[in-house]
Amino acid sequence: MTDRRPVIAVEDMHVWFDLADGAELHAVQGVTFELRPGERMGLVGESGCGKTTTILAMMGLLPSSASVSGRVILDGEDIMERGESSVAPHRWCDISMVFQGAMNAFNPVKRIGDQIVEPMEMHGTASGSSARAQVRDLLELVGISGDRASRYPHEFSGGMRQRAAIALALACQPKVLLADEPTTALDVMVQAQILDLLVRLTRDLGLSMILVTHDLPVVAQVCDRAAVMYAGEIVEMGQMSDIYHEPRHPYTRMLFAATPDLLGDDEVQSIAGVPPRLDRDLIGCPFAPRCDSTFAPCTVDHPRSLQVETGHTAMCHLNDRLVVGAAGA
């Protein structure tokens, strides 16, 4: 295993949804990122910014009202190239997902163990007694006693159902785990247990993870890297500590300032306004109407995503000057 090569790369992904009135909503607008083996990346932003749509598109799970363009490269193969037929063999086997609210999506009248066997048999990775043995191992791996495979979902607490949902996502030994708000409905202590588990799984199994959340402190605790999304675009991406200590996009800075910190003394400030509608063309920077640092080009030109440091990109006109200045020096 070479640690350098990305395990999965998303290139220039666009997603449009057809709206009832014939209009189109451009939910994801040219998202590009890659993920290395064992890496944990946070995908953060407000509701409607396209973070869930992005990972659903990676799984090929968007509804038929959506059209997708771009590439998802898994082990050198573009799994989006031929639509469902090229993504289906990889779904759940190489790339898998813990859905938002997954803990409440178990079939209430089927035993937990049987529900975890299902994807194994469906994808032919295991069956019969070997599948049952694997279920026990999987449950133990996520911190549930293997004996409980024969229990029903209602006999599990919320935290345990979430662990079982993670076990379900790992059933076919994927390389990439996409976790959509995996702790949002949980109490802080159970959240800590689940985050602990996700970190341990990525470390022990070499699993790569994308953690989708609106909760920046959760990303700060769990992830190596973060991508901040706004209006369907990644507006800043880099190492988590660079993003926090030296944000290069005002949205990132303002999002941190809007998040109360347990021990922080700074005033918590909301971001005025709302994200733009994505069913019409945007002129200039999509964040300009809410930004506290706008200047001339912001309302006219859409900013480019520029590398501001090694492994740190941002999409803001403030960096145009810096990069131009640096080039001239």
Partner 1 sequence: MSAEPTPLLEVEDLITRYPVPRGVAGVIARHPRLTVHAVEGVSFTVGRGELVALVGESGCGKTTTAQSVIRMVDNEAGSIRFRGRELTGLSARALRPLRREIQMIYQDPYESLDPRFSVRDTIEEPLLIHGVGGSNDEREAKVREALERAGLTPAELFIDRYPHELSGGQRQRVAIASSLVLDPKLLVADEPVSMLDVSVRAGILGLLDRLRQEGMGILMITHDLSTASHFADRICVMYLGRIVEDGPAKEVVRNPQHPYTKALISVVPKRDPREQTEPQVLQGETPNPVFIPSGCRFHPRCPVARDECLSVDPELRRAKAAESPEHRAACVLV
Q: Note whether 250 binds partner 1 by CB under 8 A.
A: no
Kindly tell me which of 187 and 204 has the beta carbon lying closer to partner 1: 187
Q: How many helices (H) and strands (E) does the chain have?
A: 10, 12
By rule CB under 8 A, what count of residues binds partner 1? 42
Q: Note whether 104 binds partner 1 by CB under 8 A.
A: no
Q: Note whether 259 binds partner 1 by CB under 8 A.
A: yes
CB of 194 to partner 1, least distance (A): 10
CB of 312 to partner 1, least distance (A): 14
Kindly tell me which of 54 and 191 has the beta carbon lying closer to partner 1: 191
Q: Note whether 159 binds partner 1 by CB under 8 A.
A: yes
Backbone angles phi, psi at 161, to 5 degrees: -65, -35
CB of 238 to partner 1, least distance (A): 12
Taking alpha carbons only, the member of 166, 253, 175, 182 closest to residue 218 is 182
Q: Note whether 19 binds partner 1 by CB under 8 A.
A: no
Task: List the one residue from 127, 130, 150, 269 that touches partner 1 (CB under 8 A).
Answer: 269
| H runs (alpha helix) in the chain | 51-58, 84-87, 112-122, 128-141, 158-169, 188-205, 216-222, 240-245, 250-257, 317-328
Length of the chain: 329
Q: Which long-range contacts (C-beta less than 8 Å, at least 24 apart) are formed by 188-197?
A: 190/158, 190/159, 190/162, 191/218, 193/143, 193/159, 194/159, 194/162, 194/163, 194/166, 195/221, 195/222, 197/142, 197/143, 197/163, 197/166
Mark residues 178-207: x for contact with partner 1 by CB under 8 A, - for none: ---------xxxxxxx-xx-----------
Q: Note whether 157 binds partner 1 by CB under 8 A.
A: yes
Distance between CA 44 and CA 215 in Å, rounded?
A: 7
Kindly tell me which of 112 and 160 has the beta carbon lying closer to partner 1: 160
Q: Note whether 240 binds partner 1 by CB under 8 A.
A: yes
Using CB under 8 A, list all residues that contact partner 1: 46-47, 157-159, 187-193, 195-196, 214-218, 220-222, 240-241, 244-245, 254-256, 258-264, 268-272, 274
